[in-house]
């Protein structure tokens, strides 16, 4: 049997990082076994829909490189792939459940449901009680048909059998067993004619030929209801795999109250796609103990649902930043340069020399997390009007340092080749002849040419700034700060 998996988000906003992990694991699983991945949009909760959310979800998936084989934008043999376009299909299967006695009409108002639950608060059992509430069992067939004929508002509920063990195997959690006495008579069809997640999910998975349901742990408590539906319809259940929760550092469930959770947020911050996807893939799973950097093809080959952890995975942004830097260091200079040119344009800097821009990006790649930080972190590479750190100035500029640096400036002024090696050679020679440590020379140079105490290698920096600009900066600084 060909593997068929699905990612089925609700269009209620941006794609959550947990949703991306679910989509990614489905993608890795499908590709490993030569199967198909389906994108299905679950929009049955009409109160939570967000305009253009489907387009945003698709855009985030495409950015992450999570490719699907069937979906609302590309079609397929098992469509429609949007649940609101499948209402007639759900109505058919609801009628089948009612006809077989596995579902029933219920006519309770919201106030009556609330009162029933309020009366049960002492027993901690607030499940719907079909023996006393207003439904086809308590009303009888004639009254039920009369209400339906008169257009009375109703829902359809699952008729859960008493004291029945529901068992299923989870590829991550092993054998799971739940007694039906702990399962509510779940609403399957709402009063607006739309199915709930539970009915639509099962019907869609069956009619779309889904073989493996890989989803978040939050759906584990609902799975016994879904297994019951498979039993009632006489269908084979798919294989289930419930992924661990994503957690904050304090082990609470990952929430936007403690930071970014939307994929789009991380994309806009400047995280590299491959770094971000690598990080997401290892949230709850790591194929080997001695590595953390993987190409997507490696992840596909190594992926194993049975090795996914049961416990929650901490979303460690420090780890993400580290991974970002590893990928940034490995990017070709040309790619870095193209990225930096885009960022320079946002700052109003005119980048005329693409080769030089690429060299600057390459030089600073290990000192930033995002390429977008370079124009600010190293503003002195692009403008002559850069700030001078006052503490650094006070510490490293006085009459002694002035007298030390002046002869060196003249040496630089007379250089024919202003290359890293030539600058380094004459500076080291001057250090020896003046009987000064290199640090005593480098700090004043860094102060004058960059205005700040930290940065890339001084000789590389000088080469990229260029001889003409360096000499001008020396002269302007001496003129301004003198001593």
- Separate counts of helices (H) and strands (E) for the chain: 21, 11
Q: How far apart are CA 143 and CA 156, in angstroms?
A: 16
Nearest to 76 by CA among 215, 202, 208, 206: 208
Cβ 279 vs Cβ 323: under 8 Å: yes
In the residue annotation, 120 being an active-site residue is answered as no
Active-site entry in 92, 120, 256, 395 = 256
* The two structure tokens encoding residue 443: 């700090």
CB atoms within 10 A of CB 99: 9
Main-chain phi, psi angles of 237, to 5 degrees = -80, 145
End-to-end CA distance of the chain: 83
- DSSP letter for 471, please: H
Cβ 447 vs Cβ 388: under 8 Å: yes
Q: Which residue blocks in 33-159 are alpha helix, DSSP H?
A: 53-64, 87-99, 110-119, 136-139, 141-149
Cβ 53 vs Cβ 263: under 8 Å: no
Please state whether 268 falls in left (phi above 0), alpha (psi between -120 and 50) or beta. alpha
Q: How far apart are CA 130 and CA 180, in angstroms?
A: 14
Q: How far apart are CA 432 and CA 422, in angstroms?
A: 16
Q: Is 98 exposed, middle or buried (0-12, 13-18, 19+ CB in 10 A)?
A: middle
Length of the chain: 483
Main-chain phi, psi angles of 104, to 5 degrees = -150, 160
Main-chain phi, psi angles of 99, to 5 degrees = -65, -35
Cβ partners under 8 Å of residue 238, min gap 6 = 205, 210, 211, 212, 213
Q: How far apart are CA 197 and CA 186, in angstroms?
A: 10
Main-chain phi, psi angles of 48, to 5 degrees = -110, 5
Name the residues annotated as catalytic.
256
């Amino acid at each position: 049997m060909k593997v068929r998996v699905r990612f089925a988000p609700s269009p209620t906003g941006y794609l959550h990082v947990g949703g991306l992990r679910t989509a990614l694991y489905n993608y890795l699983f499908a590709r490993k076994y030569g199967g198909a991945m389906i994108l299905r949009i679950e929009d049955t909760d009409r109160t939570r829909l967000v305009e253009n959310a489907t387009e945003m979800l698709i855009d985030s998936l495409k950015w992450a490189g999570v490719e699907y084989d069937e979906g609302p934008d590309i079609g397929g043999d098992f469509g429609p792939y949007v649940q609101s376009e499948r209402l007639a299909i759900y109505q058919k299967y609801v009628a089948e459940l009612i006809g077989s006695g596995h579902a029933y009409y219920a006519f309770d108002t919201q106030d009556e449901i609330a009162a029933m639950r309020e009366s049960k608060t002492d027993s901690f059992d607030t499940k719907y009680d079909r023996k006393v509430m207003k439904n086809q069992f308590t009303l009888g067939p004639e009254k039920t048909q009369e209400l339906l004929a008169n257009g009375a508002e109703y829902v359809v509920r699952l008729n859960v059998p008493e004291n029945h063990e529901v068992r299923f195997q989870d590829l991550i959690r092993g054998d799971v067993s739940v007694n039906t006495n702990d399962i509510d008579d779940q609403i399957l069809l709402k009063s607006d004619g739309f199915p709930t997640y539970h009915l639509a999910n099962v019907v869609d998975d069956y009619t779309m030929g889904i073989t493996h349901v890989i989803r978040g742990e939050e759906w584990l408590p609902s799975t016994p209801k879904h297994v019951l539906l498979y039993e009632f319809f006489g269908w084979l259940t798919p294989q289930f795999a419930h992924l661990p929760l994503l957690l904050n550092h304090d082990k609470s469930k990952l929430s936007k109250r403690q930071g970014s959770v939307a994929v789009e947020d991380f994309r806009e911050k400047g995280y590299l796609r491959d770094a971000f996807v690598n990080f997401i893939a290892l949230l709850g799973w790591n194929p080997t103990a001695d590595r953390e950097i993987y190409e997507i093809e490696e992840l596909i080959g190594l992926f194993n649902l049975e090795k996914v952890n049961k416990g929650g995975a901490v979303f460690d942004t420090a780890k993400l930043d580290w991974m970002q830097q590893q990928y940034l260091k490995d990017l070709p200079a040309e790619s870095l340069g193209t990225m930096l040119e885009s960022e320079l344009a946002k700052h109003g800097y005119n980048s005329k020399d693409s080769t030089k821009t690429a060299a600057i990006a390459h030089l600073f790649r290990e000192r930033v997390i995002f390429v977008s930080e370079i124009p600010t972190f190293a503003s002195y590479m692009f403008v002559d009007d850069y700030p001078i750190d006052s503490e650094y100035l006070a510490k490293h500029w006085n009459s002694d340092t002035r007298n030390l640096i002046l002869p060196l400036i003249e040496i630089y002024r007379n250089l024919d080749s202003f290359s890293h090696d030539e600058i380094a050679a004459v500076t080291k020679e001057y250090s020896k002849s003046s009987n000064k440590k290199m640090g005593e020379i480098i700090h004043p140079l860094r102060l004058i040419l960059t205005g700040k105490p930290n940065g890339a290698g001084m000789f590389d920096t000088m080469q990229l700034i260029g001889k003409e600009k360096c000499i001008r900066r020396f002269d302007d600084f001496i003129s301004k700060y003198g001593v």
